[in-house]
Chain A
Amino acid sequence: MDGLSHLGAALAALAGPWQIAYALGATLAGIMIGLLPGLSATLGVALFTTLTLKMAPADAILVLICVYVGAIYGGSRTAILLNIPGTAANAAACLDGNMLARQGQAGRAMGIATTGSVAGSLFGVLCLAMFTPLLAETALKFGAFEFFWLGMVGVMMSGTLTGSNPIKGWLMGLLGIFVASIGLDPIHAHPRFTFDNNEISGGIGLIPALVGAFGFAEILTVMSQSKLKTMISSVDSVLPKIADLLRYWRTIIRSGLIGVFVGILPGVGEDMAAWSSYAAAKRASKEREKFGKGSVDGLIAAETGDNAAIPGALIPALALGIPGSAPAAVLMAAMIIHGAQPGPMLMVNQPQFVYDVVGITLLATLAILVFGLVLVRPILWVLRVPREVIMPIVFVLCVLGSYSITQRLFDVWVMLGVGIACFWLRRRGFPVAPFVLGLVLGDIVDKSLRRGLVLSDGSLLPFFTRPISAALAALVVVMLLTQIPMVRRWFTPRSKT
């Protein structure tokens, strides 16, 4: 009953004209960010974090969640019309969305994408409202040992699943943990890796580093690529057919479940949710041969999965302080900037905040439904703006966004340095998401490891013998072992010759 009254209060607070205006404006901005290849949801949330610093905390979080939801949805348009995912989360939507567009059904594909996105989001919102309090209550029993392993599981899982080679992902995660350790040590306030430089003593700011990793690096990547192909301009009706919804209800529910589950996994994110949902839909479908050739089932699965992962990624971010995806990591940082403390104590200290997030995600979902069905053609004009014009403007925003938090030029140099490093690493196949997770979770990992060792007087046993710690440690060991070729061969069934 407490939950329902909190949710009612959250929805009532969001019914004001300013809140609705913020939600509509931010969702539209998010859709445009998602539409433009190269501008990711993470960059959108990071840039808007700097733009909303002076806003009231509730309004700022409203804007950021709407940008996040809008960006993941907006990317499907580019996937359908250009066969280029607007964000990484929409890569799976390219396969069938673009094929439908080539068959003269671009409008239908966009309608299906909208329906799938809204259904996935709504399913995720329901899970967010139900599971966040339960998980937070369980997490109240966690100590330093469990938090150390949770942080490590986040970094390692992100490294395992977001790139082609887990070793590269783990190296990026470790690099993130190291970068997070630069500055004053959080326990004894002793300077680490500062070279007696006052600027570095303040640490590497999360937002400048993220803007560099997802903004500047992305600008360099986009400018190194060939020009985009001409988009499909003829658009039929975008109103989804009820028959499509009824026919694929199983796909919607299955993809919603997969999306939420993958979203909850630390640092894995929306793109993996979309691919997992797509693969599951293909396995379950009676029309497998249509997948990749314009399957409605496939498009619904991909778009339901990635949008369900958004609330899914917020569940561990709110309940444990461990973000489920890169944009959720930035959002969590923004929540901290605005005075919320994500983690097990959130449900104790600020229970209303969790339901505010549920209400905001619901509002953002309704906003994408409105824009998805009403503003199709005007929104598509954004795709006609050349990248040569968009990218320098985005860079100016990256510069001011990095600078504006503490108003020091050092943060601009951090943005440049991280951007150049991430561009080089990405070209060599190193995924950026584990670096972000490492950066966000570095503080938890560092403090939990040292506090745990102090509590156990230097013994490593409690890290492996407490029940939840043991389970998390086992997960890390399994992830490590599966990368050893001999172990992999052991578990791979041999084909009879």
Chain B
Amino acid sequence: MRRGDLTSAGVFAAAGAAILIASLRMDRLTDRGIEAWSVPGLTPGVVGALMIVLSLVLGLQALRAPAQAAADEPAVPGAMRRAGLALLLCVVFAGVTLGHGLPFAVEGAVFIFVFTTLFSWAEWKAAGRVARGLAQTLAVAVGASAFISWLFESVFLVRLP
């Protein structure tokens, strides 16, 4: 049994069911006298139904498949920890702090500096060049953020968040 595929099939089946139910409950606009075959929920309803069918097929495949075929990608030690840290930093920057007062150039510089420092710290420490690494990263973070902000604000006339 492939547990990962079974979980994915469950998620897709649930999503398909939710889409199908929402499509069936969608307004058919009969009061506007539109053709029954052009109701807004038709295509999403078909999509939801097909998702349920394909999820069931995927689920059956997962139940029949041998367990050793489960891994789609070879496991890399610490992969999820690194991805989790990157995800946390990106979500905090773009989803939480962005647009809440600080100029974009400052927020961008802080994000680049923190991201690079956290991911490079162990390597810098092992090589005995923490101070140099921090100084270089600060310069890159400030320079890159300032340039990107200038480019979007002054050249592309975007009002930065």
Contact = CB atoms under 8 A, between A and B. Distances in A.
Contact of A167 (B4, B42, B61): B61
B87 A420 contact: yes
Contacts of A171: 12, 51, 54-55, 58
Contacts of B19: 178, 193
Interface string A420-447: 1001010111100000000000000110
A413 interface: yes
A53 B156 contact: yes
A409 B161 contact: yes
A361 interface: no
Interface string B71-86: 0110010011011011
A399 B104 CA distance: 11
Given A177-B47, A388-B116, A389-B140, A427 B73 contact: yes
Nearest to B41: A192
B29 A188 contact: yes
Contacts of B111: 392, 395-396
Nearest to B143: A393
Nearest to A222: B86
A407 interface: yes
A54 B37 CA distance: 41
Contacts of A400: 104, 148, 152, 158, 160
A224 interface: yes
A423 B95 contact: no
Contact of B58 (A50, A167, A193, A449): A167
B127 interface: no
B120 A192 contact: no
Nearest to B148: A396
Contacts of A413: 95
Q: What class of interface size applies to chain B in its complex with A?
A: 35 or more
Contacts of B83: 220-221, 223-224, 423
B99 A389 contact: no
B44 A181 contact: yes
A192 B86 contact: no
Interface in B82-117: 82-83, 85-87, 89-91, 93-95, 98-99, 104, 108, 111-112, 115-116
A454 interface: yes
B97 to A, nearest CB: 11
A479 interface: no
A207 B39 CA distance: 28
B157 interface: yes
Contacts of B131: none
A36 interface: no
B37 A458 contact: yes
Contact of A192 (B12, B40, B116, B148): B40
A451 interface: yes
Contact of B90 (A168, A395, A425, A458): A395
A192 B26 contact: yes
Contact of B40 (A53, A185, A216): A185
Contacts of A221: 83
A450 B160 contact: no
A37 to B, nearest CB: 14
B134 interface: no
A68 interface: no
B47 A181 contact: yes
Interface of B: 4-5, 7-8, 12, 15, 19, 22, 26-27, 29, 32, 34-44, 46-48, 50-51, 54-55, 57-58, 61, 72-73, 76, 79-80, 82-83, 85-87, 89-91, 93-95, 98-99, 104, 108, 111-112, 115-116, 119-120, 137, 140-141, 144-145, 148, 151-152, 155-161
Give me the 6 closest cross-chain CB pairs, A-B, nearest first: A429-B72, A453-B37, A224-B83, A392-B115, A185-B40, A223-B86
Interface of A: 50-51, 53-54, 164-165, 167-168, 170-171, 174-175, 177-178, 181, 185, 187-188, 190, 192-193, 216, 219-221, 223-226, 386, 388-389, 391-393, 395-397, 399-400, 403-404, 407, 409, 412-413, 415-416, 420, 423, 425, 427-430, 445-446, 449-451, 453-454, 457-458
